[in-house]
Amino acid sequence: MTKPLSIRNITAHYGQTKVLEDLSLDIAEGELVSLLGASGCGKTTTLRLVAGFLQPTSGSITLGGKDLTKLPAHQRDIGLVFQNYALFPHLTVAENVGFGLKQRGISGDAKTKRVGAMLERVGLAHLAERLPGALSGGQKQRVALARALVIEPPLLMFDEPLSNLDAKLRVDMRVEIRQLQRANGTTSVYVTHDQEEAFSISDRVAIMHAGKIMQLDTPENLYQRPANAFVARFVGFENLVPMKVVARDGAKITAEAAGGVKLTLGLEHFGAIPDNFVLACRADGLAVTDNAAAEGIPATLGLRTYLGRAYQYQSETAAGMLVANGPLSKPLEPGSNAKLVPVPDQCTILAVE
Partner 1 sequence: MKRFAGWTLASPATLLVLLGLVAPVAATIYTTFGTPGGPFAPYLAFFGSGFRRTVLLRTINVSLAVTAIALFVGFITAYVVSRAPGWLKSILIIAAVFPLLTGVVVRSFAWLIILGKNGILNSTLINLGLITEPFQMLYTQGSVIVAMVYLFVPLMVLTLVGVLEAIPDDLIQASASLGANSWATFTQVILPLAVPGLIVGAVLVFTGSFTSYATPQLLGGEQVMMMGTLMYQQAMVTFDWVSASTIAAIMVVITIAIVMAMNAAARRLNPMTV
Partner 2 sequence: MPTKIHPALIGFTVLVFFFLVGPLVIVLGSALSDTTYLTFPPQGISLRWFQNIFEIDAFRRTILTSLQVAVISTFVALLIGIPASYAMSRYRIQLPGWLSTLFVLPVLVPELVLGFSLLKNLAFQFNAPIFLSLIIGHTILILPYVIRVISASLASFDFSIEEAAISLGSPPLKTFFTVLLPNVRSGVIAAFILAFITSVNDVSISIFLTGPGISTLPIQLLAHMEQFFDPTVASVSVLLMVLTVAVMAIVERTLGLTFLAK
For residue 273, give every residue at least 6 positions away whose Cβ sits within 8 Å of its Cβ, in sequence order, or none.
Answer: 245, 253, 255, 265, 267, 349
Other C-beta atoms lying within 10 Å of the C-beta of residue 92: 17
The item of partner 1, partner 2, none sharing an interface with residue 54, based on CB under 5 to 8 Å by kind, is partner 2
**Nearest 5°: CA angle at 211, between 208 and 214?**
35
- Pairwise CA distance, residues 55 & 248, whole Å: 53
Q: Which does 171 bind (CB under 5 to 8 A by kind): partner 1, partner 2, none?
A: none
Residue whose CB is less far from partner 1, 88 or 306: 88
Instruction: Decide: residue 271, CB within 10 A, 0-12 exposed, 13-18 middle, 19+ buried.
Output: exposed
Write out the binding residues for partner 2, residues 19-78 only, by CB under 8 A.
48, 53-54
Residue 88 binds: one of partner 2, partner 1, none (C-beta under 5 to 8 A by kind): partner 1
Minimum Å distance from CB 156 to partner 2?
22
Name the minimum Å distance from CB 257 to partner 1. Answer: 50
Binding mask 108-147 for partner 2 (x = CB under 8 A): ----------------------------------------
Which residues partner with 18 through β-bridges? 13
Phi, psi of 123 (to 5 degrees): 75, 30
> Based on CB atoms, which residue is closest to partner 2, 5 or 49?
49
Q: Minimum distance between the CB of residue 144 and partner 1, rounded to whole angstroms?
A: 8
CA 157 to mean position of chain CA atoms: 15
Query: Measured from the CB of residue 53, what is the shortest distance to partner 2 in angstroms?
Result: 6
Q: Least separation, in Å, of the C-beta of 21 and partner 2?
A: 20
Q: Within 13 A of 327's CA, how many CA atoms are on the CB side?
A: 6
**Residues 115-129 as b or e (16 or more Cβ within 10 Å = b):** beebbebbebeebbe
Contact 88, 97 (CB under 8 A): no
Nearer to partner 1, 62 or 83 (CB): 83
Residues 209-214: contacts with CB under 8 Å, at least 24 apart: 209/37, 209/38, 209/41, 210/41, 210/42, 211/18, 211/19, 211/20, 211/21, 211/23, 211/41, 211/42, 211/45, 212/20, 212/21, 212/22, 212/23, 212/42, 213/23, 213/25
Question: Nearest distance from residue 330's CB to partner 1, in Å?
Answer: 54
100 binds, among partner 1, partner 2, none (CB under 5 to 8 A by kind): partner 1
Q: How far apart are CA 330 and CA 277, in angstroms?
A: 33
The CB-of-73 to partner 1 minimum distance in angstroms stands at 4
Q: How far is the CB of 85 from partner 2 (least distance, A)?
A: 19
CB of 85 to partner 1, least distance (A): 8
155 binds, among partner 1, partner 2, none (CB under 5 to 8 A by kind): none
Q: Which residues pair with 315 in a beta bridge?
A: 301, 322
8 A C-beta contact, residue 226 and residue 217: no
Distances (CA, A) of 327 to 192, 217, 274, 293, 309: 35, 33, 32, 18, 8
* Element at 228 (helix H, strand E): none
Q: Which residues are near partner 1 by CB under 8 A?
A: 51-53, 72-80, 82, 84, 86-91, 99-100, 102-104, 131, 133-134, 147-148, 151
Interface residues toward partner 2, by CB under 8 A: 48, 53-54
